[in-house]
Chains A and B, each alone.
Chain A
Amino acid sequence: MAAIALAPAAETLAYQRKVFVFMAVVLAVAPLVVYPLFMMKVMCFALFACAFNLLIGYVGLLSFGHAMFFGMASYVSAHAAKVWGLTPELAILSGTVVATALGFVAGSLAIRRLGIYFAMITLALAQMIYFFCLQAPFTGGEDGIQAVPRGHLFGVIDLSETFSMYLLVLTIFLGGFLLIYRIVHSPFGQVLKAIRENESRALSLGYDVDRYKLLAFVLSAGLSGLAGATKALVFQLASLTDVHWSMSGEVVLMTLLGGLGTIFGPVVGAAVIITMQNYLAQLGAWVTVVQGIIFVVCVLAFRRGIVGEIAHALKKPL
């Protein structure tokens, strides 16, 4: 894992803020150049990857089941918007709340074991949620929930307008990103990093390690849910793909490629992977092969990831 100074200097923070502003500007003008729908997809997955990175990058816990939060929130948000007729902000909120609650249950179970077991437990729990979604009547089984209405934000703003939808997604992404940034740099975040570096030491210093881990897990689950719930409205679709284990694998890949434990890495990783899927979509099974190759190359030769390498070259944490 990329080592990060525990207390970043003021100049580092200022530097990161500059990069953040640059990222926000790029995202704001991007739809002039690329398809807005594509950019919205990138932002949803970037938020998902950032939420995942909060856990792997800053607590050192590898969850292999984050699709359960993303997918479950996606279903709940789609159901709320379509069947209950809730306004988009309430639909997204209900998806996020359900994912957070699910995060509490799954987290309480998973943090009872460490390392590799933690990964296997989250994977198994996610598979259970997958079977639940496959059988539960409200998810529509193999068809998923289709033609979800985007509705009117606060009952006023029509989200079927691409521009309004884009602004909403951009706001949610930047808001989620800033929240994660704030968490990472808070005293709470410092304790998380202390746990990552040396769990027994943190425990002996009097920190209730399990509670910190659980809270980090719940936060990560909730933010993943926020991403999934938003995605359901953007694509007007919630399907089994969102809860499948391959989705959990994809978010691991995005974060790993971008750089574990870097602030901006997951965003870059998500952008690269989504772009790749977009261009290779017609190649079928080769997409899986290419993703596998990226995994292997990252693990064997490129463990810092894209942003991690840049940060290393610039000697500034990003």
Chain B
Amino acid sequence: MEIFGVPSQALFGQLLIGLINGSFYALLSLGLAVIFGLLNIINFTHGAQYMMGAFVAYILLNNFGVNYWWALLIAPVLVGATGVVIERTMLSRLYKLDHLYGLLLTFGLALIIQGLFRQQYGSAGLPYQIPAQLQGAQNLGFMFLPNYRAWVIVASLLVCLTTWYVIERTKLGAYLRAATENPALVQAFGINVPRMITATYGFGVGLAALAGVMAAPIYQVSPQMGADLIIVVFAVVVIGGMGSIMGAIVTGFGLGIIEGLTKVFYPEASSTVIFIIMAIVLLVRPAGLFGTQK
């Protein structure tokens, strides 16, 4: 069977890869958007924290025999805790300065973290086994769907939608949105805004680490795995605009799919297509698809 002159196997295969990549774009840009909303800082360390999540899972499995499912819980908590320390000891000193200093600081932290992991584990990718429960694949008739990949798509959609629900529909989320609009006023109402900021950063970092654990069995675990990814995610964030949580999710998945399709129809452009879309969006709608120009 062929679609537009492309074998359907190849088409659906790339679409699946696109969806998988899109899941990670969505999870990471969601974390960036949540952090940016409250801290006004673009967290350049996000890629390194995603990598740390994958490494924590790897170390847990190989040094302590802790399986994937526990890693899904432990890694985000551990890496999120390091995020809390970073926010308390460093980022919190920068809120009164130009926001660019936050970017520079987190860039420096990313260099430190990546350098340390490269020193310890080398640059080569380390394999991480797919958990036993999710091995194998389903025959959908038109393609084979590996169970683990299906799980990643479903799980990241669930996490994204839960985050959206918490921020847009609960009381806690209402505080958060209010603090994004006017922190001084929220503080005056007796809500501990600095603690909320710390928790938000920890949560965003935890999301990155969770994405890292889920990525470990698909991509190999390596110190550089987050460095190039985070630049693509920045482009995703520029395209979506950081105004809305749902915007980040939709843009993430959408761009993943577009990237996958490009791989089928014009493979040469597959690594640049997201950046080209970013350029077009900047020309047509500088604030981003879901953003509002401040």
Contacts and interface: CB of A to CB of B under 8 A. Distances in A.
Contacts of A201: none
Contact of B94 (A119, A131, A294, A299): A299
A249 B286 contact: no
A132 interface: yes
B108 A113 contact: no
Interface stretch (B3-11, B13-21, B50-58, B234-242): B234-242
B278 A284 contact: no
B100 A124 contact: no
B243 to A, nearest CB: 12
Interface in B136-158: none
Contact of B119 (A113, A289, A292, A293): A289
Given A123-B231, A299-B94, A299-B104, A112 B111 contact: no
Contacts of B235: 120, 124, 127
Contact of B109 (A131, A132, A296): A296
A125 interface: yes
A115 interface: yes
Contacts of B93: 300
A289 B282 contact: no
Contacts of B268: 135
B105 A115 contact: no
Contact of A127 (B101, B108, B116, B231): B231
Contacts, number: 124
Interface string B88-115: 0010011001111101110111111111
Question: What DSSP secondary structure best describes chain A's contact surface?
Answer: helix
A112 B282 contact: yes
Q: Which of A120, A134, A291, A293 has its CB near the most chain B CB atoms (within 10 A)?
A: A120
Question: What DSSP secondary structure best describes chain B's contact surface?
Answer: helix
A274 interface: no
Interface stretch (B198-206, B245-253, B256-264, B269-277): B269-277
B227 to A, nearest CB: 8
A291 B97 CA distance: 22
B105 A296 contact: yes
Interface residues on chain B, size class: 35 or more
A164 interface: no
B272 A116 contact: no
B108 A293 contact: yes
Contacts of A252: 104, 107
Interface string A270-312: 0000000000000011111101111110111001000000000
B119 to A, nearest CB: 4
B108 A124 contact: no
A188 B100 CA distance: 24
Given A112-B282, A117-B238, A291-B111, 8 more contacts: A109-B279, A124-B275, A124-B278, A127-B232, A127-B235, A256-B104, A292-B109, A296-B109
20 contacts: A115-B100, A116-B36, A116-B41, A116-B100, A120-B238, A123-B231, A124-B231, A124-B235, A127-B275, A128-B272, A134-B271, A249-B107, A289-B119, A292-B110, A292-B113, A295-B109, A296-B90, A296-B109, A299-B105, A300-B105
* Top 3 closest pairs, chain A to chain B, by CB: A295-B108, A292-B111, A288-B115
Interface of A: 1, 62, 64, 109, 112-113, 115-117, 119-121, 123-125, 127-128, 131-132, 134-135, 245, 249, 252, 256, 284-289, 291-296, 298-300, 303
